[in-house]
A and B are shown apart, each in its own frame.
Chain A
Amino acid sequence: MVEVLFSREVKALEGSFETWMAEVLRCVRFLPDRKAIRQELEAHYEDHVRDLERLGYDRQLARKRALGTMGDPLEVGRALDRVHKPWLGWLWLASKGVLILCVMLALFYTAGGAWRYQGFYMPPDPSAYEADGFAFDADHASYTRVAVSRGGSVEVCGYEISVPYAALWKWADEHGEHPYYSMTLVLGVRNSRFWEEAPDPAMRQLTLRDDSGGFFAASEEYYEHTVEERSQRWAGCVHLHGEHSGPFYSEYWYWITSWEQPPRWTELVCPSGEGFTLRLEWEAVE
């Protein structure tokens, strides 16, 4: 009988704590925070009850005292509402949603597109161009570098196009006979608009002319014709050998062949749109 009465009294006290809690939570306008506030206040209340029980209070009295120290529910509720501002709470929830959405988008497209990016391509040190084995350079015993040129630069449509490296190569067979000359050329394109691509289609249309009147076609056009037509119309072609792209700098590597005599100068001509011309004066090297 005593146990039943005790249990009822405790339930009544718990009921009054629930009423206190309901009044507090009613003051908090940001609904999503109510659960966390409830958990925190309950934990605080239970801790206090346990402390009092440890001091020798019986359970019923401990709960009564603990509830008494929790304060006026309206005052506590208003104070909590000031801390848990609804507009700040909703903004925080919205920012979480936006972040989840953006991260999912990034994961989806990064997984799909990352293979296209193999790092930032930065202009190499000038000496790297002349080192043996650079890129497609004629790193072969049959080739000898006979001239180099560093052309100027030209600015067109916001791109700065320059010639960081150009070399003329002499090829001869094992007896030193049947020589011919080829050219390796690197064009660098600087672009301050990192979000835009390099003028790739235009760079594929480069042609070249030399001091002896020879004309070298863009490879796309050149290979559309038969061997006979090519030899009749052009001295050779400007072959785009490779390219490296980065957000601010891209490089295009060309291989141009061939001459029987080394040219004194050559002129690169881009016929696309406004186009540009870059003149290369050749300096002999030992």
Chain B
Amino acid sequence: MRLPKLNRTGKIIRNMVLAAFALFLTAWMLDFPCWTKTGLLRRAERVYLLTEEAELLYDSCSDPVGPDTLYARSGEQLLEVGYERTPLGLRAASSTLYPPDAWYVLNFRWRYRRTGGAPQPGGELVGLVEHVGAAELEIAWRLHDAQGTLVVTGEWQAPYCFDFRLREPAGGFSEAEQRLLTGQEVASMTGTLRLYGADGSLLAEQKYPNLW
């Protein structure tokens, strides 16, 4: 069957219709990405059947460590939505609704992204932490021939976030710590998070059996 010969206007219309179809197909394959972060939160609310509008607490997109993540609260619950950027918008990669008693979330990662150079482990503590004065994470590590402790102090980042960055001490890292940081050997690592009030009192202490 011969297709009708189109004039230029007809070709423009045909091209635009085909482009729209291709875009729809792409959007479908990408699970119909959202155009805004608020849209991502609205979708996450719905899949958890939440009726209270989630309020964005922190967006880790500027964080060089770990995937892009939105942290929000819906009522008394914390909602975490991992997302990725696509040519058509933002696509939800994962979502977690924490139980009502979880008032903070620690995401500490032993890997890095985007920038090259030395690995820079880090992460963030996000939640209803406006009343927290200081936060520290004690990491107990063990390699096959060495063990030690690293203490990372949280830096106040936003009203709802403490940022954790492992910084090189004045004397530099030891040889074993270098091996640990470069990931040459899989280490056993446990963490202890301590949150202090403005008066220095211990507000919470939580152990993480595996920080790797």
Q: If A109-B29, A201-B47 touch, does A89 touch B8 (CB 8 Å cutoff)? A: yes
Q: How far, in whole Å, are A272 and B99 apart by their CA atoms in the complex?
A: 10
Is B18 positioned at the interface, with any CB of A under 8 Å from its CB? yes
List chain A residues, Cβ under 8 A from B27.
Answer: 195
Judged by a CB distance under 8 angstroms, whether B198 is at the interface is no
Please measure, in the bound complex, the distance between the C-alpha atom of A92 and the C-alpha atom of B9, giving whole angstroms: 8
Cα distance, A21 to B16, chains bound together (Å): 34
The reply to whether B26 and A102 contact each other, CB–CB distance below 8 Å, is yes
Partner-contacting stretch, out of A93-101, A133-141, A175-183, A222-230: A93-101
Tell me the minimal C-beta distance from B204 to chain A in angstroms: 22
By a CB distance below 8 angstroms, the chain B residues around A117 are 28-29
Q: A89-B8, A102-B22 are in contact. Are A95 and B29 (CB under 8 A)?
A: no
Q: How far is the CA of A196 from the CA of B31 in the complex (A)?
A: 8
Candidates B11, B23, B47; contact of A105 at CB < 8 Å: B23
Q: Number of contacting residues on B, CB 8 A?
A: 31
Which residues of the other chain, B, contact A272 by a CB distance below 8 angstroms? 48-50, 97
Give A74-105 as 1s and 0s: 1 = Cβ < 8 Å from B's Cβ atoms: 00000000000000110110011011011101
* Docked-complex contact A95 and B12, CB < 8 angstroms: yes
Query: Which listed residue (B8, B32, B47, B87) contacts A199, Cβ 8 A?
Result: B47
Quick check: is B19 within 8 A (CB to CB) of the other chain? yes
Check if A196 sits within 8 Å of B43, measured CB to CB: yes
Among B15, B26, B49, the residue within 8 A (CB) of A95 is B15
Is A199's CB under 8 angstroms from B49's CB? yes
Chain B residue, CB-CB nearest to A110: B29
- Judged by a CB distance under 8 angstroms, whether A276 is at the interface is yes
Does A158 sit within 8 A of B, measured CB to CB?
yes
Quick one: which of A95, A113, A159 has the most chain B CB within 10 A? A95
- B95 lies within 8 A of chain A by Cβ: yes
CB distance B26 to A105 under 8 Å? yes
Q: Are B31 and A197 interface neighbours, CB within 8 A?
A: yes
Chain A's nearest CB lies how many Å from the CB of B104?
Answer: 21
Q: Would you call B51 and A95 a contact (CB within 8 A)?
A: no
Establish whether residues A95 and B43, one from each chain, have CB atoms under 8 Å apart when the complex forms.
no
Q: Is the CB of A113 within 8 A of B18?
A: no
A257 to chain B, nearest CB (A): 26
Asked if A270 is at the interface (CB within 8 A of a chain B CB), the reply is yes
Give the distance in Å from the alpha carbon of A106 to the alpha carbon of B25 in the complex: 6
Within 8 Å CB of B57, what residues of A? none
- Asked if A114 is at the interface (CB within 8 A of a chain B CB), the reply is yes
Please state if A98 and B19 are interface contacts (CB–CB under 8 Å): yes
Measured between beta carbons, the chain B residues less than 8 angstroms from A105 are 22-23, 26, 87
CB of A273 closer than 8 Å to a CB of B: yes
Q: Does B131 lie at the interface of the complex (its beta carbon under 8 Å from any beta carbon of A)?
A: no
The answer to whether A109 and B30 have CB atoms under 8 Å apart is yes
* A156, CB-defined interface residue at 8 Å: yes
A198 vs B43: C-alpha distance in the bound complex, in angstroms? 10
Please report the C-alpha to C-alpha distance between residue A195 and residue B92 in the assembled complex, in whole angstroms: 13
Q: What are 25 A-B residue pairs whose CB atoms fall within 8 Å in the complex?
A: A88-B8, A91-B12, A95-B12, A95-B19, A96-B15, A98-B15, A99-B18, A102-B22, A103-B19, A105-B23, A106-B22, A106-B26, A109-B25, A113-B29, A116-B29, A157-B51, A158-B46, A196-B46, A197-B43, A198-B47, A201-B47, A201-B97, A202-B47, A272-B97, A274-B50
